[in-house]
Amino acid sequence: MWSPYLVWSDDKTKVIARLPKDTFLNGSLNQDLFTEQLEKMKAYHAMVYTENIDLFIQYAENATEEAYQGITVAEIKNAQAYIEVSSDGMLASITVIGAYGGRGVTADELIQILSQARVTKGINKLALRKVLQMSAQLRPGQQVTQPVAKGKRPIDGCDTTFKPLVEDITKRILKPQQVGSSNEKVDLRNLGQTITVDIGQPLMRKIPFTDGISGMTVLGEEVAAKCGEDLALELGKGTEFSRSDVNLLVATTSGTPLIKANCVDVDNVLLLNDVDIGTGHISFKGSVIISGNIESGMNVKATGSITVGGFIESANVQAKGDISVGKGIIGHNVSGEESKSCHVRSQGTIYANYAQYSELMSGKDIVLSVHSMNNDIDCRGDLTVFELKSKVGTLSGGEARVAGSVRCFQIGVEGNTVTKIEAFTQSEQYKQKILLLKNEYKQAQNETMEIIRKELALKGISSGAEKKAQQEALFAYKKQNNDGLEYIKYQLEKAEYDFEREQSEVSVEALNRMFDRVTVKIGKDQITTNKTYGACIFKLDQNKLRFSGSLDKEDLAVC
């Protein structure tokens, strides 16, 4: 029986177990009956100290002094609350522990908690009310965390942007015009009006950078915003800044506008219907726009861009700018080691609907919409064979050597056609550059040590005009060497960073399907598929070629 031994403290907040004076424990006590007695005392919600119960039973059985002094075995406790502020100061949360027979948290207690934590900004009054309500409803000991204050994150400024004010000629090529008022029919031969500009016509506007908006933590500390980068609007060929607006680029000559990142070039343009035996070969210092086709056996060279509204068939086409083809690039199947019958080479980007049995070389990207079939591709940028709306784009057969990434809707084809893809072809160039810079850095360090030895040797020479002259010469040489050392170090760190970034970002991706007999090589590793699979992607991970998607290791040949 616990009844004679359990009493309330004077403030009615604690249950104390105590042997009455001049008495001894009558019978035995156990914890099972303890809860029953608490219920009779209406203290069933109190926080029970199990270890203290065991101590009291031990003391009471031995009639020790502690048994007569009394031990707190249960306690009425109010709800408890504490606050945590995130490491970045952007969020403050209050955790509430349910009361043991006591009351919930009061508004004054919440105010004190916020004040002690110095939380003054972004306080949500509705959240505080929710904390008050929860604290009165929680089960004893139940914990709930509620965000009560939220900081204002800074809004970074925007970099300078450049808004073209004329249409992009490369996009015009891929935009057949509607026939009449019908939205269902288009004329593939009518690719829109030729884009030209007149003298004084606005070409591009610079949108200045912004400073951004500062943020604020819940502690009232200001968080600075990142200022946007100020980029320059540059003069292109045939352009000048407007006399009334330095942020506006206008044309100084008539011609075709070629839109670039932060400038526009206006080229003199040669306009032709077709290139065939009637026109002869074309070699032009500027851009060439051909509304029709480039026929078999013809050569077209331009120092600017080349735009073809129709086909390129078994021709030799070269441009220092972009090459845009409205329809397709067509070569003919050749046997053995024979050269391809169609050669398209651009120092910029090549755009076309499709290409087959051709040699394609680009200084930047190659973008095809429908397919690339049995082509020899050398691309210094990214290779894309994909059309978003129609969900088509097949890369099959031939070989593709790509400096960047490859992204296609489908790679390979049913049958025995072998498709070879090598991405990140500049890997060895990066490595050679890094090795060369490391050797230069080591040589510069050796020269630094030689300068130090010369400085020590000078200390042993008595002062005089000769020593002073040597010191001045050595000082100048030392400064020059240190500057060179720092520059080489910067170049080395940049080369290593660029290599790691490119290596981590490059990939070969099939968005829908990859067939068998496709060999993918990135760096020194290569993988050949043995079956047909769904969407998948190949990437380098810690210098090892890996894949993800609906592929199984047993279905791949790893070389």
The residue ranges of every structural domain in the chain are: 3-75, 80-150, 161-265, 427-505
pLDDT in tens, the chain (559 residues): 787 878 888 888 898 988 888 788 777 777 777 878 888 888 878 888 888 888 888 888 888 888 888 999 899 999 999 999 999 999 999 999 999 988 999 999 999 999 999 999 999 999 999 999 999 999 999 999 999 999 999 999 999 999 999 987 766 554 555 666 656 565 443 444 557 788 899 999 999 999 999 999 999 999 999 999 999 999 999 999 999 999 999 999 877 788 999 999 987 788 889 998 888 888 887 789 899 999 999 999 988 899 999 999 999 999 999 999 999 999 998 876 788 999 999 999 999 999 999 999 999 999 999 999 999 999 999 999 998 787 889 999 999 999 999 999 999 998 888 999 999 988 888 888 889 988 988 888 888 888 888 777 777 676 677 777 877 788 888 888 888 888 888 888 888 888 888 888 899 999 999 999 999 999 888 999 988 889 999 998 877 888 887 544 445 454 4
8 A C-beta contact, residue 64 and residue 57: no
Residue 231 CB coordination number (10 Å) = 15
**Tokens 């952007």 correspond to what residue?**
90
**Rounded Cα gap, residues 18 and 6, in angstroms:** 6
8 A C-beta contact, residue 3 and residue 22: no
8 A C-beta contact, residue 308 and residue 322: no
**Rounded Cα gap, residues 397 and 372, in angstroms:** 8
Residue type at 170 in one-letter notation = T
Length of the chain: 559
Terminal C-alpha separation, the chain: 81
8 A C-beta contact, residue 533 and residue 551: yes
8 A C-beta contact, residue 346 and residue 362: yes
